[in-house]
A and B are shown apart, each in its own frame.
Chain A
Amino acid sequence: MFIIQRRDFDILISALKQRGYTVVGPAVRDNAIVYDEVNSASDFPVGWTDEQEKATYRLKRRADEALFGYSVGPQSWKRFLFPSHVKLLSVVKKGKTMEIQSDASNEKPPQYAFIGVRSCELNAIVIQDKVFMNEQFSDPTYVLRRHNAFIVAVNCTQSGGTCFCVSMNTGPRVKGKFDLALTEVVGNGVHHFVAEVGSDKGAEVMKEVPHKNADASGAGVAEKLVDATAQHMGRTMNTDGIKELLFNNIDSAHWDDVARRCLMCANCTMVCPTCFCSTVEDATDLSGDYAERWRRWDSCFTMDFGKVTGGNFRPSSKARYRQWMTHKLASWINQFGASGCVGCGRCITWCPVGIDITAEAEALRKNSVRIEAEHSTGV
C-alpha cells in the first residue's frame, strides 16, 4: 500500500497520458456525474456528491474537496468498451460482386485509461468480458478496447441511496483485476489516496507518481472507510435461491403488477453496466454502390425486440419486464456463471416511475411464498 498526496494526483493523469492513453474519468455535465475525457483533477467533480433514490438523482455540494465523494452516475464504462453505435462493415458494390471490409477489426482502437472504476463496475466489466469474449466468438470492437484499457479502480467511501453491492457480493471493496486501486481519505487536514498496485502496468505507472509507503494506520483508515460504506447500503437484495425464485415464478401475478407501472422506456437497460443487447442497421449511400452495417444498443423492452416475420414473441409489457429481470437475476447465472446484476442501483435511480429491482424481487418472493402457503394448506 502506498500513499499518493492529492497535490500529486495530476501526475498520475499525466503519466497515463504520456503512455498514450486517452484518460477518462468522472466529470460534471448537465447536473450529473458522467464519464468523459479528463486532463487534470480540476475536471473532476471536486467537492460534489450525489443524492440518489428511486427516480431521483441530485447533485449536492460536499463540505470538502473530495474527487470521488459520490457513487455511480447514469453512465457506466460500457459506453467506452461497448460503444452505443459502431460501424461493423463497409461494403463496396462492384458489379455483381462486392468487397466487404471489417471496420471493427481494422480500426485503430482508442487506448483508454479509466479513472474511478467502482467495484460494482469492475465486476460489470468482467461480466461483459464473458459476453463479448465467449467460448466460441470474440467481438473485435470490445476486445480491442478492453485489451488495452488501464484501470484505476476506486474503493467506495460512501454508499449511494440505491446501492446494494454488498448483497450482490460485488463491493464496496474493489476485488478483481485492476492496475491501480485508490481509496480517497479526506478531512482533518489530510487529503490523500491510499493506493494498491494490481498489475505490472500499474507498478510501472506508480514509479512516476510521487508516493510513500503506507504504514499500518494509514492503510487501516482506508479499510475502515470501506467497511463503513458496506454498513450503509441504500438497498439490499435477498439472493437466496434467487435463480429458482425467478424460474419458478414465470406465471406469477406480480408481473402484471409491474407491467401496470412500467413505461417500457428502456432506461433501465441503457444505464445498466451489464446489459449488452444490440441490433444491426444497414444503410446505403445515394449512389447505391456503398453500404454500411452498424451496430447500436438495443433493449429487450422495445416492441421490435422479439419480432419475427408473422409475429412477435414478446408483445406484452409483462413478458418484456419479466424477460429483463429474469435474465438479470437468473438466466445470466446459467449463461455466464454469475448474476447479471452487480447492485449498482442505476436502474432504480433512473427509472422514471421508480421501479426498484430489489423491491420487485422481494415482492415476487412474498407472492411466491404466499402461493406456496396457500397450496400447502389447500386453500
Chain B
Amino acid sequence: MNQTAVGEVEKLVDPMLPQLMSIRKTVWETDDTFTIQLEKADHYDAEFTFLPGQFNMLYVFGMGESALSISSDPLKPGTLAHTIHRVGTVTTALSQMKRGDVIGVRGPYGTNWPIEKANGLDVCIVAGGIGLAPLRPALYSLFRRRRDYGRILLLYGARSPLDLLYRVELEQWSKLYDVEVLVTVDRSDSTWKGYIGVVPSLFMYIKLDARATIAMVCGPEVMMQYTIAEILRRGIPPEQIYLSMERNMNCAVGFCGHCQYGPKFICKDGPVFGYPHISHLFEKKEI
C-alpha cells in the first residue's frame, strides 16, 4: 500500500469491472453446446491477448457471470471465442444471444498449458466432454510449430456421437497436423464406428514413449482421476502431467474464496496445474 495522506488514493482499477464485447457469431457444436465468437464493443483498442488454458468471466446483463475457458487460437488476433455447455442461467442466456448483442468480459485469468515445456517431446492430450474447449488453444499453439514436437496424440471422449465437439476439425487435425486422434463415446448409436467406453480405456490402444511424453488433461474430475492413474501407470513422470481444475468461482481474482482447493486458488494458481502441485489432494474426497 502506498503511504499517502487521507483522501489521496488515486484512480483504482476495479478488477470486477468487465469490458464490453459483442457477439459476432454463434455456432452450435451439438444440441446443447455452442461456440460464441466475440469482438470488441467499446473504446478499448488494445488487442485481447491470452494464453492457451486461460479463462474469462462472461457477464450477461442482470443474469450474472460465469467462468468460461477460451477455446480459440491465441495466435490469431481478433478471433476470441468460448465453447459453452448450456446448463443454467448464464449459459442459457449466452446461448440466446444474437449477433451484435453485448456482454461483459473480464480476463484473461489463470495459468496456461505448458506449450514451451512441450518442446521436443511427444504430447498426449486427453479431454472429456467440454474439457476439449480449453485444450483447443493448446492444440492450435502446437500446430503453429508442429515440427518442434514429436507425436501429438488426442484422446477424446464424449457421452454419445452427437455430443462430440469440433467434429470437422478433429478430422482436419489428424490430416493436416499429423495428430493421432482417438475418440470414444460412452453410448454409441448405429452410425458410430469408433471406440466405445470411458476416456482412460483409450490408453489400451496406444503406445507411449513415457519419458519423452508430456500429458495435458481436462475433463470431469473422476475422468481426470482415472486418466492420471493410467498415465502414471504408463510411466510418464508426474512433473510431465498437467491438468485443468474446476471449482465454483465468483470473482476469479482471489477475493471470493470459493475456488480454494487445499492451499490453492484455482482462479490464480490454476486452473492449469502441474500434477505434483496437487497430487496429495487429488485422490481425497470433498477438498
Contact = CB atoms under 8 A, between A and B. Distances in A.
Given A97-B41, A280-B64, A330-B263, A105 B17 contact: yes
Given A104-B14, A331-B262, A315 B286 contact: yes
Interface in A87-109: 88-89, 91, 93, 96-98, 100, 102, 104-105
Interface string B12-54: 1111111010100000000000000000010000000000000
Contact of A313 (B5, B63, B286): B286
Given A139-B15, A279-B256, A319-B285, A111 B263 contact: no
A279 to B, nearest CB: 5
Interface stretch (B70-78, B147-155, B209-217, B246-254): B246-254
A91 B15 contact: no
Contacts of B258: 277, 279, 298, 305-306
Interface stretch (A128-136, A184-192, A353-361): A128-136
Given A96-B100, A97-B41, A148-B6, A310 B87 contact: yes
Report the 9 A-B pairs with minimum CB-CB distance, sorted nearest first.
A277-B257, A319-B286, A334-B263, A284-B62, A291-B62, A102-B14, A331-B263, A97-B102, A137-B253
Given A132-B255, A300-B257, A306-B248, 19 more contacts: A91-B104, A98-B61, A104-B16, A105-B13, A111-B6, A137-B15, A138-B12, A138-B13, A280-B64, A282-B62, A282-B64, A283-B62, A298-B258, A306-B258, A306-B286, A309-B87, A310-B87, A316-B286, A334-B263
A334 B260 CA distance: 12
A13 to B, nearest CB: 17
A40 to B, nearest CB: 22
By CB atoms of chain A within 10 A, which of B13, B16, B247, B253 has the most? B16
Contacts of A96: 22, 98, 100-102
Nearest to A320: B286
A136 B14 contact: no
A137 B255 contact: yes
Contacts of B22: 96-97
A118 interface: no
By CB atoms of chain A within 10 A, which of B258, B268, B284 has the most? B258
A147 interface: yes
A20 interface: yes
B194 interface: no
A148 B7 contact: yes
A143 interface: yes
B9 interface: yes
Contact of A280 (B13, B256, B257): B256
Contacts of A314: 286-287
Nearest to B66: A309
Interface of A is mostly: mixed
Contacts of A91: 61-62, 104
Given A143-B9, A251-B284, A282-B63, A105 B14 contact: yes
Contact of B18 (A100, A147, A280): A100
Interface of B: 1-2, 4-9, 11-18, 20, 22, 41, 61-65, 87-88, 98, 100-102, 104, 246-248, 250-251, 253-258, 260, 262-263, 265, 268, 280-281, 284-287
Nearest to A319: B286
10 contacts: A97-B22, A102-B14, A102-B17, A137-B254, A143-B1, A146-B1, A147-B2, A280-B256, A306-B247, A306-B258
Contacts of B262: 247, 326, 331
B65 A280 contact: yes
